[in-house]
Structure 1
Amino acid sequence: MNKKYVLLALALYGLFVFLVINFYEDNPSSMTWEDREEFNRHYIAKLVPGQVNLEQILADLGTPDSTEAIRKNNNYYQVTFYRTQHVKSDGITTQEECTYLLFVNDTLAGSGLGGHYPENWQVIQAHSRN
């Protein structure tokens, strides 16, 4: 009789694991900040410029920690910042703690560490010359 309970428990555990793996979606907004940073890092590392759009990023990563946008020469540039590393425990997310994603006309054009972002507005200037 004990074998039946053990087998039943193992079967239920296996079913639970199967359901979690196949139906539980990672939702960055419900994660702890540590888990969210790691999730964002892994997700952003897989991105290929030119092959993903802003809508997909927003659906997968949720609302960015910060965003900026500009329209220049009939092109729309948007930069989103997602937290990817911890710098200082002050309750404030800074650009240094983020990775930025640059979108040109809603298509990913590049990314980089948020602390280097102000220098990278040159990226937008370079794109606007084309």
Structure 2
Amino acid sequence: MKKLLLVAALSAPLLSGCIVAVSDDGVEPGWASNHNGNRWQYQQEENRKTIASLDLGADYNQVLGQLPTPDFTELVKKDEGVYKVIYIATNSKHSDGKVTKDECTPLVFKDEKLIGFGQSALLQIL
């Protein structure tokens, strides 16, 4: 009996282990190796590609269906129409979790139709 207790006491430290928690952050297998593990950079690259493929005159809801939720949204009514500006993250420099307008591309809509994107389009309605 003493031998059994002695064996149990000596082997307890050997049987204990540690638990390692691993999270894939909802990313599919292989994604990190293909994109260097920077999900936000990959998403912003996809945003840039999508924005570049948009056509002038595209419907507001159609565009929203192709992009993630805007980081910022503005709405302005002028005599000649209603302008919506959505800001989509495309140029973040750090993965600090905070997106500012200067890290976004503005998409400008007049009466629900895309009239342009980028700073030059935004300046036309200011």
Pairwise TM-score range, normalised by the shorter structure: 0.5 to 0.7
2:66 is the counterpart of 1:60? yes
DSSP 3-state at the match of 1:90: coil
Gaps of 5+ in 2: 1-38
CA distance in 2, matches of 1:110, 1:38: 19
CA distance in 1, matches of 2:124, 2:80: 16
Cα separation, 1, equivalents of 2:90 and 2:47: 6
Give the one of 82, 88, 91 matched to 1:82.
Answer: 88
Residue type at the aligned position of 1:104: K
Q: Residues of 2 paired with 1:102 and 1:67: CA distance?
A: 10
Give the match for residue 38 of structure 1: 45
RMSD: 2.1
- Partner of 1:73 in structure 2? 79
Q: Highest Rg: 1 or 2? A: 2
The total of aligned residue pairs comes to 89
TM-score, normalised with respect to structure 1 = 0.60
Q: What is the alpha-carbon distance in structure 1 between the residues aligned to residue 54 and residue 122 of structure 2?
A: 20
Whole-angstrom distance in 1 between the partners of 2:85 and 2:122:
10
Percent identity over paired residues: 38
SS for the counterpart of 1:80 is strand
2:5 aligned residue: none
Length-normalised TM-score, structure 2: 0.62
